[in-house]
Structure 1
């Protein structure tokens, strides 16, 4: 049983796990922001294209 107790109280990998969780959180936030910005830019370009197309046909 001492090996199980030693394993349970061992915290040597905790720092690496914490850094991995922080990196995953940063990745999720960044990818969500990029996707939201991309959708917003798509809408702007579609509006701009419609206005240019309307001005060219007049």
Structure 2
């Protein structure tokens, strides 16, 4: 009788373990998707605003290279 009880208990524990969800891998996948989307947004912004940003930085460089009295205003 004890053997049957032990077998049923072991079977119950196995079923319980299979029904429990392991979500540790899902978290890593979600972080991977978020990082991918952030990278896509950054790449899109760089392509969209890249020329404007380069022009602004060039204006700043030109302003720093000119003496204070001869700086041009846009």
Same fold, TM-score > 0.5, yes or no: yes
* Residue 32 of structure 2: aligned partner: 37
CA–CA distance in structure 1, aligned partners of residues 24 and 36 of structure 2: 18
Looking at secondary structure, tell me which structure has more helix per residue. Answer: 1
Q: Does 1:52 align with 2:50?
A: no
Q: Structure 2: 5+ residue runs without aligned partners?
A: 56-74
3-state SS in 1 of match to 2:9 = coil
Structure with larger Rg? 2
CA offset at residue 55 of structure 1? 3.7
TM-score (norm 1): 0.57
TM-score (norm 2): 0.47
Point out which structure has higher relative CO (alpha carbons under 8 A, 6+ apart): 2
Q: Structure 1: 5+ residue runs without aligned partners?
A: 1-6
Equivalent residues, number:
48
